[in-house]
């Protein structure tokens, strides 16, 4: 079992920044990658970013490239999502997830552990 706890969401004006954190505990040794997904009301869940458990290798959805940065603190077993130049369309519940099933990074069904989610609201 892997436990994931997110924090850092909130309300921010367009153009502002937020940093999300995801603290992982439990059996993390078999993890291929850690990812962030988001789901806005009435929309499907969307891959946002991912990083290999080793910390080498990152992936982003096109809409956040150049604005969001995913990183990992190995000592703290924590993954971060730094979000800059936020836009109203970034408003969603953001979930952290751990992929222990396979090496395909953006495929949500390979992520078998999920956090409870944290709300990000960007006002225009």
Residue-wise pLDDT for 56-66, tens only, equals: 899 999 999 99
Residue-wise pLDDT for 9-51, tens only, equals: 999 999 999 999 999 999 988 899 999 999 999 999 999 999 9
Inform me whether the pLDDT recorded for 104 exceeds 90. Answer: no
Residue-wise pLDDT for 67-95, tens only, equals: 999 999 989 999 999 999 999 999 999 99
SS (H, E, C) the chain: CEEEEEECCEEEECCCCEEEEEEEEECCCCCCEEEEEEECCCCCCEEEEEEECCCCCEEECHHHCCCEEEEEECCCCEEEEEECCCCHHHCEEEEEEEECCCCCCCCHHHEEEECCCEEEEEEC
């Amino acid at each position: 079992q892997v436990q994931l706890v997110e924090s850092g969401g909130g309300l921010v004006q367009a153009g502002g920044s937020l940093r999300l954190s995801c603290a992982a505990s439990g059996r993390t040794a078999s993890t291929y990658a850690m990812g962030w997904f988001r789901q806005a009301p009435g929309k499907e869940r969307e891959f946002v970013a991912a990083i290999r458990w080793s910390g080498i290798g990152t992936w982003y959805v096109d809409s956040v490239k150049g604005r969001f940065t995913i990183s990992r603190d190995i000592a703290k077993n924590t993954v971060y999502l730094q979000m800059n130049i936020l836009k109203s369309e970034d408003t969603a519940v953001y979930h952290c997830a751990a992929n222990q099933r396979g090496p395909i990074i953006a495929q949500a069904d390979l992520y078998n552990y999920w956090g409870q989610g944290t709300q990000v609201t960007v006002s225009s």
